[in-house]
């Protein structure tokens, strides 16, 4: 008799691909899953899937560190770059608040919050880690 029950093996086969990202196709799938989890879980640490979200974020971060290194910069600098690439103005960033709030963030008079970071990750379809 196996030490690991058939039930555990069945569930593991469903989630195991999330814990080993070997190529860009698996990376894209993991990012899509992370975004879906962020939509579902938000920032609620009491949500039953919070630990999965946290663990998947760690796995994605490890893959990105190895395959998509980010130059040393802070979250606001990343935001500026992404806004420039997408030709966005403060008025286009309602996810962060009013244009005045966006300008305060861009001028580093106000910090990005966890809510801002999750919203930006969703808007730009990147890992929240790029804004941390």
Give mean pLDDT, residues 4-29: 85
Encode pLDDT of 29-87 as tens digits: 999 999 999 999 988 889 999 999 999 999 999 999 899 886 788 999 999 999 999 99
Encode pLDDT of 90-122 as tens digits: 999 999 999 999 999 999 999 999 999 999 999
Tell me what pLDDT residue 7 has.
Answer: 79
Tell me what pLDDT residue 88 has.
Answer: 96
Tell me what pLDDT residue 120 has.
Answer: 95
Tell me what pLDDT residue 39 has.
Answer: 93
Q: What is the C-alpha radius of gyration for the chain, rounded to an integer number of angstroms?
A: 17
HEC states along the chain?
CCCCCHHHHHHHHHHHHHHCCCCHHHHHHHHHHHHHHHHHHCCCCCCCCHHHHHHHHHHHHHHHHHHCCCCCCCHHHHHHHHHHHCCCCHHHCHHHCCHHHHHHHHCCCCCCCHHHHHHHHHHHCCCHHHHC
Domains delineated in the chain: 6-67 (no CATH), 75-131 (1.10.260.40)
């Amino acid at each position: 008799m196996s030490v690991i029950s058939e039930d555990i093996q069945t569930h593991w086969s469903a989630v195991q691909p999330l814990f080993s990202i070997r190529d860009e196709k698996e990376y894209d799938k993991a990012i899509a899953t992370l975004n879906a989890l962020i939509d579902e879980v938000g920032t609620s640490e009491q949500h039953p899937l919070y630990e999965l979200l946290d663990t998947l974020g760690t796995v994605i971060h490890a893959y990105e560190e190895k395959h998509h290194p980010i130059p040393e910069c802070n979250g606001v600098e990343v935001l500026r770059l992404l806004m420039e690439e997408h030709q966005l103005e403060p008025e286009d960033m309602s996810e962060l608040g009013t244009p005045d709030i966006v300008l305060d963030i861009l001028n580093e008079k106000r910090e990005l919050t966890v809510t801002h970071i999750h919203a930006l990750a969703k808007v730009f379809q990147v890992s929240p880690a790029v804004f941390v």
